[in-house]
Every structure is written in C-alpha cells, then in structure tokens.
Amino acid sequence: MEAPAEQSKSALKKAEKQARLAAEKAAKAAKAAKMVSLPVAGGKKTDEIIGITNSKAENFSAWYQEVVLKAEMVEYYQEISGFFVLRPLSMHIWNTIRKWFQGHIEEMGVEETSFPMFLSKTSLDKEKDHVEGFAPELAWVERAGDKKLEVPVAIRPTSEAVMYPYYSKWIRSHRDLPLRLNQWNSVVRWEAKQTTPFLRTREFLWQEGHTAHLTEEMASKEVLEILELYAGVYEQLLAIPVVRGTKTENEKFAGGYYTTTVEGYIPSNGRGIQGATSHALGQNFSKIFHITVEDPQNKGQHVNVWQNSWGLSTRVIGVMVMVHGDNKGLVLPPRIAQLQVVFVPVGINKNTSPEDKKKHEDQMDEMRVTLKKAGVRSESDWREGYTPAWKFNDWEMKGVPLRLEFGPKDAAKEVVSYARRDTGEKGEVPIADLATKIPELLETIQADMYKKAEISFREHRKMITKWDDVLPSLDEKNLVLIPFCLDGKCEDRIKELTTRADDNRDVPENQKVPSMGMKSLCIPFEQPQVNDLVPGETACLNPECKGKAQKWVMFGRSY
C-alpha cells in the first residue's frame, strides 16, 4: 500500500481525475452556495453568522474549531478550560462506533466490566515506568466534603493499575485464561499543552480493553485482531484510510512490550495523527502485579501471563472532521451520520394554496416513510421564515450527506432532486426508486469519500532516500518513509535536525513554514518491496548516524 509503484497506474490516474473533478465541483458549489447564504430578513436568527468564515486551506486550526462548534458537535466548557461538551451529533457517531466495535469484541469473547474511576497512590507507585508517563497529568482528589482524605486518590488516566490487582486475584489457573475485559468510560489527563476538541482534551471518552493470555502467541494474535478492528472503524465507518504498523521504542506505551497502531493523515497540514493503539504488554505488568498460573505443560512451575491493553477514543471524531470537512463545514460519511438525508421543500411560498401545501407535505412524509423502511435516517426541514438557500447552507454546515429538494416541478416529474454533500453533484431520482436508489447513493458517497481520502494519503506518503529531501518533502505536506536504524537516540536527533528555529512569527499564517520537527509515526507492517533498503547494510538516513537501517519507518510532523 505504501509503494505507489505497485499500483496499477491507469486505475490511479482515473481515480485521481475523479477526485480532482469532484474537488472542482465542490469548490464551484461552495461558491454558489455562498452567494445565496444571506439570512432572511425578518427571520429569527439574522444576528447569527451562517456558514463557516475561516478557510480550511488558509487557517486550518481556526477552521476546525469553527466547524466543530457551528456544526453543533461540541460546546466549549466555559467553566473549566480543556473540557468540552459532546453534543448529540458527536454522540451519535461515537455510539455507532461503539455498537460496531462492541459487536465484534463480543464475538471474540471479550466481556464488559466497570472499574472505579479512582486509583490509590499505593497501586500507582507499583509500576514506575508506566506511572512516570502519566504523573504530570493526574488529577488528585484530596478532600471529600469538608474532610481531608487519609490517602489521596487520583482519577484514572488509564486503568492498568486499577485493574491488574484483580487480575491477580481472579486468575487462579490456566483455565481462567484468556481473561478478556473491556470498559467504556472516560479518563482524565490534565494536559498542560493547548487542548483541541476531540484531539486533545482533559477528559475523553474511550474504550479500554485489558486481556490476559497463557502464551505470547495467543496475546500477539489478539493485538493484531484488535488493531484490525480499529482500522475497520476508520476505513469502514469513518471513510478514512490508515497505515497499520508498530511504534518505535521511543513512541511505545510506557511500561509495555510493543505497541501497534493505526496512523492517519491530515491533508490540510500534512500532519500524521495516531488513530488508535493496541498494546502487547508482555509479562511486564504480570510480574509487577503477580499474575501467574501453573504452567499446564510443566506441573508445579508457575508462569506469568501475557497481557494486552488497547484503546480507541473520541479522538477518531476529530480526525474525521479534519479529513472530510470543507469550507462549507462538516462532511459526514453516511454510515455514521445521525441524519443521512434532509428533505428541503422548495417552490412553496405565500402564493401556494393551503391544499397544495398540504399535498406537498403529505408527499414528503410518504417519502420519509419509504426511506425509513429502507433503513435511511431522514428528516424534513419545515422551518418557517427561512429560504431554501438558507436551509441548504445550514444542513451543509452540519454535514448531512444528502439533500433532497422537492418542489412542485419535481412533483410534476415524479422525481426528487438531490445534492451530494461531498461533491456538490446534483441529479434526480424517480420517487418510485427511492427505496433502492437512495441507499445506493449513500453507499456511493461513503465509498467516494474513502477513495478521495485514500488517494490523498497515498500521494503524500513519500519514500525518501536522501536526507536533503526530507524537509522539502515535509513542507509539501508529505509524511516520509525513510530507512531508519530504529535507535531511540537517533530518533530524538532526527526530530531536532528537522525542527526549524521559529523565525516566521510575523508572516501571515497561510505563508508560514512549519517549524515542527518530525517524529516517527510507525514502522509499517507493509514494507515497500524495493531494493533501496537492505536491513543491516543500508545506512540510516540520519546523516549523523553511524547505524544501519533496519526498516522503512514512517516519520512526519504530527499531532
């Protein structure tokens, strides 16, 4: 996947052309929409600015914050900084992901649990490596009501140290293995860095799975099964391509054995973003928490169990907004959209007779019933005092995948007119075909959104074999695949070498050159099959490094 050389070139060109055409169409549609986006005089909400005012290309971070707020995904929690309210549109996405993932892990035999949100200082102190990573971000409760607690308790940043004392208690024999538990909860990490809705927040929703196995092999198998489910959340639900791989030692989970990850890509700024991680903990925690069983192969011998932990958080929603959104606002993949189709009546005005209006309404209701039976989530926008154009903008901002317009002219032709949110493409569907054509169209949108994102990611994953090409490639919004020695110190040095002195403070944002150094994102499972890298012979790309490259490693500026 990482090697474009392997792709069929003609297919690629065709797909590229489609994507470009789609982008052009979208741009045109956006322009057209802006022209009619003025609020209606006399309407209730004329004082509100409708539409997104920041440009995704020119001021990405302002654009993002505007979109998540105006599309009503989140609300800033004014009372305490770094916290956000997740509104129904976000919760629908999260619950869709939850149901899908829950169904799959239930089939695997993972059961649900709920551990307390607090962690005592005593448990925490057991695992130094692990705890060191989280200590600066722990929220401490030292008082309840007016009483000082005898021992302060921390709110979990993750639950290894909360849960594993019980794994030691519950796992008495190899027959109790595998033990596989998962919980859906929120965790608190009191970040000092600037927070961003979904991506970095001081409290976030996630699932955390914690499992124990008899052998390394069994544990490793699960690590990958879960990673594949995480990839499925991105690819199948959110229409986002990811690269599967292993984290380097520097970037792995503190206290674990190795970490696997799915990594995404944000085209607008060329940054990589960690999608979700599935960790093999090895026997590190089972030694600390004394989780052992009698070896079924060697009676009398005790062995430490092999553990995994894996988590997927509401961060996925932020990645989705960043990848698919455009200058008109949110663009939702149909599979996770709370509202997949919005009906907007057109051509109905003061001159329309009450009878005709009633008839029109009835027809739209009928169509909604048809769609509901076909499993499509739709609504009709009958709000008064707003023009159709205002409504179009409003629903586009909120990312509804498909708009169906219905007016007297459509009625006469027995069709509805549609407009796709992702491409702006317009067309007609015979009313008689709604039950089949609309679900098809939604799946087409889903597939096209994935395709577009996949092409963009593929084109911006560059194999680099000369050090001097690194920075220019990053500046062209690429992630880079480089021959790398896998050494932690070399990795630190690469970050320093690619960090620019921040000397462009006064340059307008859209002309700024990023100063951020690159870090390793993952060692992709799918290594390019080319002769440029012979493990142990080819030099590491870092010109200061004396080591030999072991793998192609994906580096990039990142979140």
Q: What 3-state class would DSSP assign to 506?
A: coil
- Taking the least distance from each CB to a copy of itself, the nearer of 169 and 466 is 169
- Taking the least distance from each CB to a copy of itself, the nearer of 5 and 141 is 141
- Taking the least distance from each CB to a copy of itself, the nearer of 9 and 175 is 175
**Rounded least distance, CB 351 to a copy of itself, Å:** 25
Is 375 an interacting residue with respect to a copy of itself (CB under 8 A)? no
Is 175 an interacting residue with respect to a copy of itself (CB under 8 A)? yes
The site string for a copy of itself over 121-160 (x = CB under 8 A, - otherwise) reads -xx-----------xxxxxxxxxxxx----x-x-x-----
Is 525 an interacting residue with respect to a copy of itself (CB under 8 A)? no
Is 113 an interacting residue with respect to a copy of itself (CB under 8 A)? yes
Scanning 171-179, 237-245, 407-415, 485-493 for contacts with a copy of itself by CB under 8 A, the matching segment is 171-179
Is 46 an interacting residue with respect to a copy of itself (CB under 8 A)? no
Q: What are the tokens at 193?
A: 């860095």
**Rounded least distance, CB 123 to a copy of itself, Å:** 5
Nearest to 53 by CA among 402, 328, 317, 293: 328
Nearest to 340 by CA among 383, 371, 369: 371
Site for a copy of itself (CB under 8 A): how many residues? Answer: 62
Distance CA 443, CA 340 (A): 11
Is 86 an interacting residue with respect to a copy of itself (CB under 8 A)? yes
Burial of 543 (0-12, 13-18, 19+ CB in 10 A): exposed
Nearest to 174 by CA among 6, 297, 28: 297
Nearest to 378 by CA among 409, 352, 350, 401: 401
Distance CA 323, CA 450 (A): 10
Residue type, 95: N
- Taking the least distance from each CB to a copy of itself, the nearer of 75 and 526 is 75
Is 92 an interacting residue with respect to a copy of itself (CB under 8 A)? yes
Scanning 76-84, 319-327, 355-363, 460-468 for contacts with a copy of itself by CB under 8 A, the matching segment is 76-84
Q: Which of 14, 34, 128, 169 binds a copy of itself (CB under 8 A)?
A: 169
Residues numbered 423-452 forming contacts with a copy of itself, rule: CB under 8 A: none
- Taking the least distance from each CB to a copy of itself, the nearer of 151 and 412 is 151
- Taking the least distance from each CB to a copy of itself, the nearer of 181 and 549 is 181
Scanning 19-27, 90-98, 324-332, 464-472 for contacts with a copy of itself by CB under 8 A, the matching segment is 90-98
- Taking the least distance from each CB to a copy of itself, the nearer of 43 and 347 is 43
Beta bridge partners of 111: 181
Angle at 232 between CA 228 and CA 233, to 5 degrees: 120
Burial of 14 (0-12, 13-18, 19+ CB in 10 A): exposed
- Taking the least distance from each CB to a copy of itself, the nearer of 165 and 347 is 165
Cβ neighbors of 298 (< 8 A, separation 6 or more) are none
What is the three-state SS of 167-211? HHHHCCCHHHCCEEEEEEEEEECCCCCCCECCCECCEEEEEEEEE
Q: Which of 11, 80, 412, 501 binds a copy of itself (CB under 8 A)?
A: 80
Is 383 an interacting residue with respect to a copy of itself (CB under 8 A)? yes
- Taking the least distance from each CB to a copy of itself, the nearer of 139 and 224 is 139
Is 305 an interacting residue with respect to a copy of itself (CB under 8 A)? no
Distance CA 333, CA 450 (A): 9
Quickly count: other Cβ atoms within 10 Å of residue 44's Cβ. Answer: 12
Is 75 an interacting residue with respect to a copy of itself (CB under 8 A)? yes
What Å distances lie between residue 230 and 69, 240, 443, CA to CA? Answer: 26, 11, 21
Distance CA 31, CA 35 (A): 7
- Taking the least distance from each CB to a copy of itself, the nearer of 98 and 493 is 98
Residue corresponding to tokens 């149901």: 99
Q: Which of 44, 413, 466, 500 binds a copy of itself (CB under 8 A)?
A: 44
- Taking the least distance from each CB to a copy of itself, the nearer of 111 and 440 is 111
Burial of 410 (0-12, 13-18, 19+ CB in 10 A): buried
What Å distances lie between residue 55 and 318, 414, 448, 510, CA to CA? Answer: 17, 39, 23, 10
Distance CA 114, CA 469 (A): 50
Quickly count: other Cβ atoms within 10 Å of residue 482's Cβ. Answer: 26
Q: Which of 24, 111, 433, 526 binds a copy of itself (CB under 8 A)?
A: 111
Is 395 an interacting residue with respect to a copy of itself (CB under 8 A)? no
Is 107 an interacting residue with respect to a copy of itself (CB under 8 A)? no
Phi-psi label, residue 498: left if phi above 0, alpha if psi -120 to 50, beta otherwise: alpha
**Rounded least distance, CB 117 to a copy of itself, Å:** 6
| Total number of residues shown for the chain | 559
Is 181 an interacting residue with respect to a copy of itself (CB under 8 A)? yes
Q: Which of 30, 59, 96, 165 binds a copy of itself (CB under 8 A)?
A: 165
**Rounded least distance, CB 446 to a copy of itself, Å:** 23
Residues that bind a copy of itself (CB under 8 A): 44-45, 75, 77-80, 83-88, 90-92, 94-95, 111-120, 122-123, 135-146, 151, 153, 155, 162, 165-166, 169-170, 172-173, 175, 181, 185-186, 188, 190, 192, 203, 205, 383
